[in-house]
Amino acid sequence: MAIQIQDQLNRVLHFKSLPKRIVSLVPSQTELLVDIGLENNIVGITKFCVHPIHLKKEKQIVGGTKQIHIDKIVSLKPDIILCNKEENTKEIVEACKQVCNVHVSDIFNIEDSLELINQYGKIFNKKKEAIKIVTKINEEISGFKAFILKKPTLKVAYFIWRKPWMVAANDTFINYVLNLNKLENVYTTKKRYPEIELINVPINKSVDVILLSSEPFPFKNSHKRELQEFYPNATIELVDGEMFSWYGSRLTKAFAYFKMLRLNLQNNAL
């Protein structure tokens, strides 16, 4: 059964038959594969593919998202390798293309996420399972939009790294998710993940909320105290970074988390 499909870079992929041996170089996409019933087809993952946790014991780890062991990938004889434009480098994608078909995702919003899930459903003959997840995400979004509708817009900064301090800015999926939460990113004049200097400037006093992500840097309570000096009027919260940046089946859980976060922010502001 010949299969032809475009990935999210509009590259056309051709398969002579259903791809069965999968290497995933993106943690959120690995979780999605499991949730559409493809755990047994996964042969290789990254060291950051932590959901479900048992995969790291059962599957071959082929490196990280920025550095891979191409020899290990070759030895697994995959039918397809799954990448992401942001998480994997162009060099990784080019190296993997010498092994087999490479599907590259490119995610900026929920529509892109749902498209990716449906693409996996088509590629791996899991259309029913994909539709079930898409339907669940749409239901969660609908309920969340009703919940957030009359909530006030808050000014926010979302930190992802320390030494150097880095934030999520414009042209990121995280920024898109912040907007869904009516959290106005004060760093949208910058792009992607810029370094910033912690200095006392007037704009800092207008920030309502500082969000410290659990990934890629594992922020702790000690960092809350460190940042409070520079954002004196802000509520500072440790947040689950996977909920803000994982764009696969994790979205079925994310909006319940966002409701809880907003209620916590309200309570802390009282």
Q: What does the block give as tokens for 40?
A: 């047994």
How sure is the predictor about 269, in pLDDT bands with cuts at 50, 70 and 90? low
Q: Is residue 161 part of a domain?
A: yes
Q: Is residue 144 part of a domain?
A: no
Q: Look at residue 71 and tell me whether its pLDDT is greater than 90.
A: yes
Three-state SS sequence of the chain: CCEEEECCCCCEEEECCCCCCEEECCHHHHHHHHHCCCHHHEEEECCCCCCCCCHHHHCEECECCCCECHHHHHHCCCCEEEEECCCCCHHHHHHHHCCCEEEEECCCCHHHHHHHHHHHHHHCCCHHHHHHHHHHHHHHHHHHHHHHCCCCCEEEEEEEECCCCEECCECCHHHHHHHHCCEEECCCCCECCCECCCCCCHHHHHCCEEEEECCCCCCCHHHHHHHHCCCCCCEEEEECHHHHHCCCCCHHHHHHHHHHHHHHHHHHHC
Q: What percent of the chain has pLDDT over 70?
A: 98
Q: Please identify, among 139, 171, 186, the residue that sits at the C-terminal boundary of a domain.
A: 139
Mean pLDDT (whole number) for 242-260: 97
Q: Which domain holds residue 183?
A: 151-269
Mean pLDDT (whole number) for 232-260: 96
Q: Look at residue 17 and tell me whether its pLDDT is greater than 60.
A: yes
Q: Is residue 160 part of a domain?
A: yes
CATH number of the domain at 167, please.
Answer: 3.40.50.1980
Look over the chain and give the mean of its residue pLDDT values, rounded to a whole number: 94
Q: Is residue 109 part of a domain?
A: yes
Q: What is the pLDDT of residues 133-146, one digit of tens each?
A: 999 999 999 999 99
Backbone angles phi, psi at 25, to 5 degrees: -105, 20
How sure is the predictor about 270, in pLDDT bands with cuts at 50, 70 and 90? very low
Q: What is the pLDDT of residues 204-234, one digit of tens each?
A: 788 999 999 999 999 999 999 989 989 988 9
Mean pLDDT (whole number) for 64-77: 96
Q: Look at residue 249 and tell me whether its pLDDT is greater than 90.
A: yes
Are the beta carbons of 39 and 31 closer than 8 angstroms? no
